[in-house]
């Protein structure tokens, strides 16, 4: 019996889906950490000993004193009490602790399946590469936090986008390899729809990165009108007093405008993609003709609602969850397009 039709392959596939689900939770908790300004509450990187939270009053006071040395505390949160600090600390600690859990949930079954000979020669290097990406993601997370421990009030939006982008890459790879473990690798043939779907996935990924820039700069707290930006198609302060190149990534107005316009482009491409599927004879692709347009409509509605409401936490997190669903469904569609008959 081939590996991709065995009970073992189903176990490998399920394991990778569990990893993907944990990564989704990690992204949501990471978003909460960012939106509650909790990310700088832990100023040290202790991958092992950091798993143990403060256990005494002295421990809490030590952590608080370290946070009080940050620019964020001194400029923005100087009136914060220890109880308020504990609230943001637990979000950041939970985010890091979930990262440790994901590492264990990935590494232990990976070694088990490898030693028992349950992984194909094709899957082994790919799964090992995914393990390395997970390790790199932990380092990227600290690299991001370190950027906010200088004279900045927040972490670098560039590093935040890198961290979020890597999370989505790990999510997409987990889903893809789960499908491959269950059904086998897609055939070598490539059709037009496979290429178009992969291009759509890349476009959605870019939109995720643009969303990270909006979150990193708090750019959703301005121009809280739709469809125009305070009555303008292109905001008059697009450059924000900068030259063009840095303004693309650092001007609040520019970053929000890019995220808006990319959303329209993604929606247009999703509907064009649905038309291509409608013309395709392959039955396995037909569900995506409904799934992807429904998700993109819901995602745009959530984005608009979050914007005009000045990004409340619940709508912002729902918008982030919508991005996860749209991206994941498009990964599934891209995999299906490569093997559908």
Predicted confidence at residue 44, as pLDDT, reads 94
Ranges 6-15, 122-131, 175-184, 261-270: which has the least confidence = 6-15
Predicted confidence at residue 207, as pLDDT, reads 99
61 plus 46 within the same structural domain: yes
104 plus 141 within the same structural domain: yes
Predicted confidence at residue 2, as pLDDT, reads 43
322 plus 263 within the same structural domain: yes
Is the pLDDT reported for residue 1 higher than 60? no
- Which residues contact residue 211 at a Cβ distance below 8 angstroms, ignoring those fewer than 6 apart? 164, 259, 320, 323
221 plus 169 within the same structural domain: no
Predicted confidence at residue 340, as pLDDT, reads 59
177 plus 195 within the same structural domain: no
Helix, strand, or coil (residue 236): coil
| Structural domain containing residue 197 | 189-341
Is the pLDDT reported for residue 158 higher than 80? yes
* Mean pLDDT, range 215-244, rounded to an integer: 96
CA atoms within 13 A on the CB side of 51: 9
In terms of C-beta distances under 8 Å and separation of at least 24 residues, what long-range contacts does 41-47 make, across chains too?
41/67, 41/85, 41/88, 41/89, 41/91, 41/92, 42/89, 42/92, 42/93, 42/96, 42/145, 43/67, 43/69, 43/70, 43/145, 43/149, 45/142, 45/145, 45/146, 47/100, 47/138
Position 3 confidence tier, pLDDT thresholds 50, 70, 90: very low
Is the pLDDT reported for residue 142 higher than 90? yes
**Taking all residues of the chain, what is their mean pLDDT, rounded to a whole number?**
94
Asked if 251 and 190 touch (Cβ cutoff 8 Å), the reply is no
212 plus 144 within the same structural domain: no
Nearest-angstrom CA–CA distance, 255 and 289: 31
Q: Which positions make up the binding site for heme?
A: 259, 319
Radius of gyration of the chain (CA): 22
264 plus 338 within the same structural domain: yes
Q: Which of 185, 208, 237 is the last residue of a domain?
A: 185
pTM for the predicted model, two decimal places: 0.95
Q: Please give the DSSP secondary-structure letter assigned to residue 148.
A: T
Task: Copy the structure tokens of residue 303.
Answer: 């984005």
Ranges 60-69, 145-154, 268-277: which has the least confidence = 145-154
Nearest-angstrom CA–CA distance, 274 and 291: 9
Backbone torsion region of residue 305, taken as left when φ is above 0, otherwise alpha when ψ lies between -120 and 50, otherwise beta: alpha
221 plus 162 within the same structural domain: no
Asked if 216 and 198 touch (Cβ cutoff 8 Å), the reply is no
171 plus 227 within the same structural domain: no
Domain total in the chain: 2
Q: 229 forms bridges with which residues in the sheet?
A: 232
Is the pLDDT reported for residue 119 higher than 80? yes
Angle formed at CA 234 by CA 206 and CA 300, multiple of 5 degrees? 45
176 plus 200 within the same structural domain: no
86 plus 113 within the same structural domain: yes
Ranges 100-104, 171-175, 276-280: which has the least confidence = 276-280
Q: Which positions make up the binding site?
A: 259, 319
Q: Which of 185, 209, 237 is the last residue of a domain?
A: 185
41 plus 167 within the same structural domain: yes
Q: Which of 142, 164, 185 is the last residue of a domain?
A: 185
Give the residue from 103, 160, 111 showing the smallest Cα distance to 132: 103
Helix, strand, or coil (residue 54): coil
């Amino acid at each position: 019996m081939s590996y991709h039709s065995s009970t073992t392959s189903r176990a490998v596939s399920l394991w990778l889906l569990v990893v993907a689900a944990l990564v989704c939770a990690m992204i949501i908790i990471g978003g909460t950490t960012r939106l509650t300004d909790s990310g700088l509450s832990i100023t040290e990187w202790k991958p092992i000993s950091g798993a143990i939270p403060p256990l005494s009053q002295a421990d809490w006071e030590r952590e608080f004193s370290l946070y009080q040395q940050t620019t964020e505390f001194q400029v923005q949160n100087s009136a914060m009490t220890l109880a308020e600090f504990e609230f943001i600390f637990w979000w950041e600690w939970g985010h890091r602790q979930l990262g440790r859990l994901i590492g264990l949930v990935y590494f232990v079954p990976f070694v088990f399946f490898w030693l028992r000979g349950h992984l194909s020669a094709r899957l082994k290097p790919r799964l090992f590469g995914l393990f390395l990406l997970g390790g790199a993601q932990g380092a990227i997370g600290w690299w991001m936090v370190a950027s906010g421990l200088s004279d900045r009030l927040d972490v670098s939006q560039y590093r935040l986008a890198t961290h979020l982008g890597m999370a989505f890459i790990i999510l997409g790879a987990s889903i893809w390899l789960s499908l491959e473990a269950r059904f086998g690798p897609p055939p070598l043939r490539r059709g037009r729809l496979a290429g178009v779907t992969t291009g759509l996935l890349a476009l959605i990924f870019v939109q995720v990165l643009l969303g990270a820039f909006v979150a990193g700069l708090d750019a959703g707290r301005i121009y809280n009108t739709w469809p125009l930006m305070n009555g303008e198609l292109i905001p008059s302060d697009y450059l924000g007093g900068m030259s063009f190149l840095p303004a693309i990534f650092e001007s609040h107005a520019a970053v929000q405008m890019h995220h808006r316009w990319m959303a329209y482009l993604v929606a247009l491409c999703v509907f064009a993609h649905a038309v291509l599927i409608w013309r395709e004879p392959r039955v396995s692709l037909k569900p995506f003709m409904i799934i992807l347009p429904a998700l993109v409509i819901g995602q745009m509605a959530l984005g608009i609602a979050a914007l005009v409401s000045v990004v409340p936490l619940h709508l912002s997190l729902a918008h982030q969850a919508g991005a996860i669903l749209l991206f994941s469904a498009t990964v599934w569609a891209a995999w299906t397009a490569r093997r559908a008959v």
